[in-house]
Chain A
């Protein structure tokens, strides 16, 4: 205490000395840090505090919501008509594919049955609104307005109309957090559409991504589209993720430095689709030996209501 201020005279009752209190609290917070970073066992405490904070959070969000709604109201007829025309055209363009989809699905099912392969589960989805980008400046996350009450579970893939947005990483009763594909710690197994080359996509700082672990002479060109490979069991195969921006082949390094930009509108407001989990986890599948149809169906039924 001698470094800052003066020690109090000993005849005033002040409880433990400030330095002792500081050391105690610092140890507690360091313990919290280590536990949360290493073991991630504080989720229950987080849930409790989050529920208590929810009204305050909604109150803080109210002015922003009002501003957005007012903006949307004043957007004008012309912009809406234009958007309507654009959507109708897009619908028509997609119709050719969609009309044949059912036929192709049936055919696929028959062929899979013929080949005696496991039938793919149809994937249900939950539509959610992006509320806001999470405050934490060290990571890239967004908060959406669907939570465990609506059947969201951690690990679900999140997509928008253009491609993969990220993955649900934390679920609260009425909200959930989505870690974006541009987050530094988020990895997506991908393949390049043009040649089927497999790689892993990581986020980098500045809202971009990079393809790692591809050899310096790998066949990658700027403009290549990158889609999910589906090897992880989280993302369905073939969802568009990114486009290659530039490829730096430095002979000094084993791997090429390949920068990509996300296709989905990350960190924008709008609606997203939380895809159901593709397949049950291996442990779950092992416990229910008679196939994983039952839990999947139960999940689907719960999500419908």
Chain B
């Protein structure tokens, strides 16, 4: 199956279903909540999925969703209120603004576009917390962005699967 991941592909995707966006964001939140202690290099799943939908569907997922998800993450991770919303907002704004550019590139270069966005998200959080007098978490903290950018490949494949239904419908296929 030739999967269409860029605008330059010939195939046209089915329209995305809103419940699937919600489901993927909820799944990302769940993955972020798994308590792994101080594991280094864990990607911020919510930021990644948010960036994905901000690039793919800038009219459906934008700063409102970013703000709400950020608030949830703030409470869940016991950080200062406003830290995640601020970072996610800027991420969503940049990803939405760049969406028409990013989608013309092949997947590898898309990931290269996403990497600075994720790094910027983490930088904003570090800046917000250091200004509040917190401890610098060490450079390993930024590894999460790199693993997140690597995950762009499988993530694109998985999250676009429902939109790759064949034209002639197969009733036995689950999604």
Contact = CB atoms under 8 A, between A and B. Distances in A.
Interface size class of chain B, counting residues whose CB lies under 8 Å from the partner chain? 35 or more
A145 interface: no
A5 B66 CA distance: 19
A36 B81 contact: yes
Contact of B85 (A1, A25, A34, A61): A25
B175 interface: no
Contacts of A30: 82, 86
B136 A25 contact: no
Interface of A: 1, 3-6, 14, 18, 21-22, 25-26, 28-37, 42, 45-46, 49-50, 53, 56-57, 59-61, 63-64, 131-141, 143, 170, 177, 183-185, 205, 267
Nearest to A19: B93
Contact of B81 (A32, A59, A60, A132): A32
Nearest to A36: B81
Nearest to B70: A29
Interface string B45-77: 000000000000001001110110011100111
A35 B81 contact: yes
A60 B79 contact: no
A28 B67 contact: yes
B67 A29 contact: yes
Contacts of A185: 133-134
A12 to B, nearest CB: 10
B30 A56 contact: yes
Contacts of A132: 35, 37
B135 A184 contact: yes
Nearest to A21: B63
B78 A136 contact: yes
A32 B89 CA distance: 14
A53 B72 contact: yes
Contacts of B37: 132-133, 267
Contacts of B70: 29
A143 B78 contact: yes
Contacts of B32: 135
Interface in B19-52: 26, 29-38
A31 B63 CA distance: 17
Contacts of A131: 35
A36 B89 contact: no
A17 B85 CA distance: 19
A148 B175 CA distance: 44
